[in-house]
Structure 1
């Protein structure tokens, strides 16, 4: 009996994890990727003697990546390894104060005590509540797939959702524990990990604090892009066939099934297809509207995108006094989020995030630093917003970081580039925002409603954006496919 042939569109972390699961379970998998390398947004950029991770710089839940390979009978340490960062993120404020996040409870309380002794006292209670939210999500939400609305009709799921503070905002949740606005701004920044505003997204996502502050923040040795390279190598070792630089042009639908997958170079017969590209742009691009009445072009365009980003990669000739992760906060974070989401503009006083992985891994920059600079940006829209790069350079200079005069090579990536290069919905980094309860808990399903053998994995479907969630999405979608196509 011949193996079922599964075609995966996109070699991002979702597609790679699906490929590993399916190939290890006896399917024959072919993965088509329009770019020349795996990982999607998670890839390496080189400028002079410096190298950068474009894409996720903060890695949490390393066990998620390791478990994909373990489940296929492989030793993950042969493909990628991690280093845990202790005091991993420094939060700096306009008044000259700062404190660092740590996964050590006592260290964290000492850091908070400098700004607010009461916050240090309440920190254990905060961490316990963040852990409760995480356990609820892990047990009832992360590890599920949704192929239709009826999948939500579960008493256990309904009870878990009700207990996860879906009505309270993240900012309101943090106000219970932290009265100091600086501390609250630092914790509220977790909303940007899902591309949202802490003043709108549900308190449910405060669970991210537990992941960083209890489980820890990690760096993938050699660069975070090594996760994608390692997963691709693991998939190849199992027998997955990859075709890079080959873009899918359309899916041929016959009797509510994908029958063939077309590229400019070939046609592939498929027993089932997993689409790891952005669902909101690629489903409409590859399937004619009459074949997907449940997901019209109008519906696809109606979703609210997550935030995008403006990124500057700077190879420098000197080292700066920064942590591996360093955040320079706006004086008015609430105004900044309002300007991004409502006014569709960059903030007047933008929060600036720097990742300098050469602080941990000196091989990433032999002559100075590899400074990855990111500013939250509005998604692409009809409103034009000018990237305030000079304002950002002036802000960093006040902290002793003179990028303007110490950068030897640089590259600027704007939301339009992210939109065009990765077919990301309006340049969004995380698919949909979680500012509305609908987008939070009723994301697009993992299976097409009108096409029985078409499945979706990635940040624009369940369970959402971020490297671990996208990887979980790939695993669970592969399991759903196996269950249904068997």
Structure 2
């Protein structure tokens, strides 16, 4: 029986663990935190329950597929709730724009806010469906282990047909004349930690998921997904070790022999899977001399995605103006990304996202359980302490929109980019691994297999197919398939 050691119990690692254990491998998952799921972390403050991301869920079929391939029924583990009217977008001039899968409601709003958008919306939906279909068929489930994988003519044709050279902003400008509506759709770039003014229009495909397929929530919290994967893995006989840290990967003659743990144990392995931020985990666990194709110098070349400044706030009562998802926009969206990526500073006038899952799932809190997120820059020596007084900026802006959190506050916890860096081994606190601001990083992400240590594999948002819970889960599925093929 082949032994697999997976470092990190994020969604990618758990998906690979479930599928490999089901296929007859002996799998051990090592996780330094006390919970499975990585950034999909549950937080409980008194009587208030929160998900520390992700809060906007799409592609439920991806997560269901992992459970089905394990021989289980998804409905026994996950109760998906579709949020048809899922996000309210608010602007300082009083304009509100709701995002919903109800096309008639969208057209009614466009008739009031953007006549061009009303005329173009069906074409927009058709185009983002095309982008999604090509990406799903040609990119998501394809693995890249060497440069030869990029020479497939079919892949080249697909790549050139998904608008790789057009920015998301330019793409949306064609369909939406109203700048505020463009901002609402441009926000999809932040789902991959990037700027809509430079990241490829390809990622506008996220709009197909949200505006056609729908946004979802899992009853009991989205963290139930990771908890379910962990339960199934253990039911299959897998070994899950929480609160345990891997200190190093032992490499001999370009092969990983096993790992050393912080409790003194050593585990042998035929395959090692690193699930986590590749830019942090790989150099931390493997000596530079053993990874010449992924040197420290090469790592420094990558642009990290944005990080996040998060406030978890439990309020005494329920605010009738809050739904499950809402966004309070800046007056200058493009300047926000200049500050984040060019100046590496916190936005002076931030766009604020607020999730209130207790709107949908009343059992999660006696009042509102507010997950308040502001995009933050990746960490530098200069900005490391900037977030200290940022809470006042966030609360003051929400108050201007009529959301006075502090007046009704019962529970509160702040999570900074520094904590994200330390808790999740995130490179410079980046929430989504590598940004997609550069074309090469959008389409040529780090491989799922080490070029130097052939039995070491990678899952997670830093690798192919990219960031976001569905993509990370697919990366785990792809790696499981690669390893399975190695022993056939």
- Sort the TM-score into its range (normalised by shorter chain): over 0.9
User: Separation in 2 of the partners of 1:413 and 1:391?
Assistant: 15
Matches within 5 A, 1:109-188: 109-188=107-186
For residue 43 of structure 1, report the CA deviation from its aligned partner. Answer: 1.3
Instruction: Give per-residue Cα distances to partners, 1:92-149, cap 9 Å, x unaligned.
Output: 1111010111112222222332311221221111010000000111011011111111
Structure 1 residue 406 corresponds to structure 2 residue 445: no
For residue 82 of structure 1, report the CA deviation from its aligned partner. Answer: 0.6
Instruction: Give per-residue Cα distances to partners, 1:270-328, cap 9 Å, x unaligned.
Output: 01011102111111111111111111111112210000000000011121211100000
User: Separation in 2 of the partners of 1:26 and 1:390?
Assistant: 53
Deviating 4+ runs (over 6 angstroms): none
User: Separation in 2 of the partners of 1:270 and 1:392?
Assistant: 47
Structure 1 residue 191 corresponds to structure 2 residue 209: no
User: Separation in 2 of the partners of 1:113 and 1:148?
Assistant: 50
For residue 481 of structure 1, report the CA deviation from its aligned partner. Answer: 1.3
User: Separation in 2 of the partners of 1:121 and 1:365?
Assistant: 42
User: Separation in 1 of the partners of 2:103 and 2:476?
Assistant: 33
Tell whether the 8 Å contact from 2:92 to 2:401 is kept in structure 1 after alignment: no
For residue 392 of structure 1, report the CA deviation from its aligned partner. Answer: 1.9
User: Separation in 2 of the partners of 1:13 and 1:108?
Assistant: 33
Aligned position for 2:294: 295
Aligned position for 2:30: 32
Which secondary structure state, in structure 2, belongs to the residue aligned with residue 252 of structure 1? strand
Tell whether the 8 Å contact from 2:143 to 2:448 is kept in structure 1 after alignment: yes
Which secondary structure state, in structure 2, belongs to the residue aligned with residue 375 of structure 1? strand
User: Separation in 1 of the partners of 2:348 and 2:7?
Assistant: 39
User: Separation in 2 of the partners of 1:172 and 1:484?
Assistant: 43
User: Separation in 1 of the partners of 2:75 and 2:266?
Assistant: 36
Which secondary structure state, in structure 2, belongs to the residue aligned with residue 314 of structure 1? strand
Tell whether the 8 Å contact from 2:258 to 2:272 is kept in structure 1 after alignment: no
Aligned position for 1:268: 267
Tell whether the 8 Å contact from 2:4 to 2:269 is kept in structure 1 after alignment: yes
Instruction: Give per-residue Cα distances to partners, 1:237-257, cap 9 Å, x unaligned.
Output: 111111111100001111111
User: Separation in 2 of the partners of 1:376 and 1:365?
Assistant: 25
Aligned position for 1:353: 353
CA RMSD of aligned residues (A): 1.0
Tell whether the 8 Å contact from 1:458 to 1:474 is kept in structure 2 after alignment: yes
Aligned position for 2:463: 461
Which secondary structure state, in structure 1, belongs to the residue aligned with residue 461 of structure 2? coil
Structure 1 residue 283 corresponds to structure 2 residue 282: yes
Aligned position for 2:344: 344
Matches within 5 A, 1:69-80: 69-80=67-78
- In structure 2, list runs of 5 or more residues that go unmatched: none
Instruction: Give per-residue Cα distances to partners, 1:387-425, cap 9 Å, x unaligned.
Output: 332222121112221012211120111101100110001
For residue 86 of structure 1, report the CA deviation from its aligned partner. Answer: 1.0
User: Separation in 2 of the partners of 1:444 and 1:157?
Assistant: 17
Tell whether the 8 Å contact from 1:38 to 1:229 is kept in structure 2 after alignment: yes
User: Separation in 1 of the partners of 2:230 and 2:300?
Assistant: 32
Tell whether the 8 Å contact from 2:330 to 2:350 is kept in structure 1 after alignment: yes
User: Separation in 2 of the partners of 1:277 and 1:396?
Assistant: 33
Structure 1 residue 8 corresponds to structure 2 residue 10: no
Aligned residues between the structures: 483
Residue of 402, 407, 424 corresponding to 1:422: 424
Which secondary structure state, in structure 2, belongs to the residue aligned with residue 393 of structure 1? helix
Matches within 5 A, 1:381-400: 381-384=380-383, 386-387=386-387, 388-400=390-402
For residue 57 of structure 1, report the CA deviation from its aligned partner. Answer: 0.3
Matches within 5 A, 1:192-231: 192-231=190-229
- In structure 1, list runs of 5 or more residues that go unmatched: none
User: Separation in 1 of the partners of 2:399 and 2:280?
Assistant: 39
User: Separation in 2 of the partners of 1:454 and 1:113?
Assistant: 54
User: Separation in 2 of the partners of 1:275 and 1:386?
Assistant: 31
For residue 232 of structure 1, report the CA deviation from its aligned partner. Answer: 0.5
Structure 1 residue 471 corresponds to structure 2 residue 450: no
User: Separation in 1 of the partners of 2:18 and 2:417?
Assistant: 31
Which secondary structure state, in structure 1, belongs to the residue aligned with residue 294 of structure 2? coil
Residue of 80, 88, 102 corresponding to 1:90: 88
Tell whether the 8 Å contact from 1:79 to 1:233 is kept in structure 2 after alignment: no
Tell whether the 8 Å contact from 2:194 to 2:306 is kept in structure 1 after alignment: yes
Tell whether the 8 Å contact from 1:53 to 1:223 is kept in structure 2 after alignment: yes
Relative to the length of structure 2, the TM-score reads 0.98
Deviates more, 1:197-206 or 1:25-34: 25-34
Deviates more, 1:432-441 or 1:396-405: 396-405
Structure 1 residue 374 corresponds to structure 2 residue 373: yes
Aligned position for 2:309: 310
User: Separation in 2 of the partners of 1:48 and 1:260?
Assistant: 41
Relative to the length of structure 1, the TM-score reads 0.98
